[in-house]
Amino acid sequence: MIAYAFPSLAVFVVCALMTLGGALGVLLVRNPVHAALSLILSLFGVALGFLAQQADFLAAVEIIVYAGAIVVLFLFVIMFLGIDRHSHREVEPLAGQRFLAALGVGIVVLGVIALIASSHWVSGVPSVSTNGVPLAPGSGNITQIGDAVFTTYLIAFEATGALLLIAVIGAVNLARKERPRVGEEVA
């Protein structure tokens, strides 16, 4: 039995509890607002996991983008629509769906865990994205991410910019109220 350093062990345990607890909260809670709050807990757990694995920038982005923007958007829609404290119908339209879902998910997760346990990932192949420079420790990799995004992944970066613009326009168009145009006959 290898003894792991107590701080990293404690961080992992807290991270796992937050992540899985929040995820189970999303799954089990009836009220959608509470589900969104559980989602925030889970996202903070994931951010903690990022921090523990030297991804400082991503931990910050995780909290800002996910907890700060995406979950707020969820909450906004939930409150805007005023839905639905009453739960949906309990009858399953597909017989045994819950059981089949649990079975399928269980098989896949156990398979993945078995794969993780039996594989050796460290290949010794040098990094592609940074021309063989290894990941800098601590917050030093923020510079590396910036370099990689604006050199190796520049086209993908531009494409995501276009994607965000398209998404904004599409969302505005979708959520807009249908209104008869000026000069058009009201049917």
Partner 1 sequence: MNVPAAWYLVLAALLFGVGCFGFLTRRSAIIMFMCIELMLNAVNLTFVSFARTLSDVGGQVSVFFVMVVAAAEVTVGLGIVVAVFRRRTSTSVDELSELKG
Give the one residue of 93, 138, 180, 183 binding partner 1; rule: CB under 8 A. Answer: 93
Q: Is the CB of 155 or the CB of 182 nearer to partner 1? A: 155
Q: Does 105 bind partner 1 (CB under 8 A)?
A: yes
Core vs surface per residue 16-40: b (16+ CB within 10 A) or e: eebbeebbebbeeeeebeebbbbbb
Number of Cβ within a 10 Å radius of residue 70: 14
Considering the rule CB under 8 A, would residue 18 count as an interface residue with partner 1?
no
What residues from 142 to 171 belong to the interface with partner 1 (CB under 8 A)? 144-145, 148-149, 152-153, 156-157, 160, 163-164, 166-168, 170-171
Which of 174, 182, 186, 187 touches partner 1 (CB under 8 A)? 174
CA 153 from chain centre, in angstroms, equals 21
* Residue with smaller CB distance to partner 1, 2 or 186: 2
Of 95, 96, 121, 182, the residue at the interface with partner 1 (CB under 8 A) is 121
Cβ partners under 8 Å of residue 63, min gap 6: 43, 44, 47
Q: Is 16 in the site for partner 1 (CB under 8 A)?
A: yes
Residues 31 and 39: beta-carbon distance below 8 Å: no
> Cα(27)–Cα(31) distance, rounded to whole angstroms?
11
Which of 79, 112, 139, 158 is the binder for partner 1 (CB under 8 A)?
112
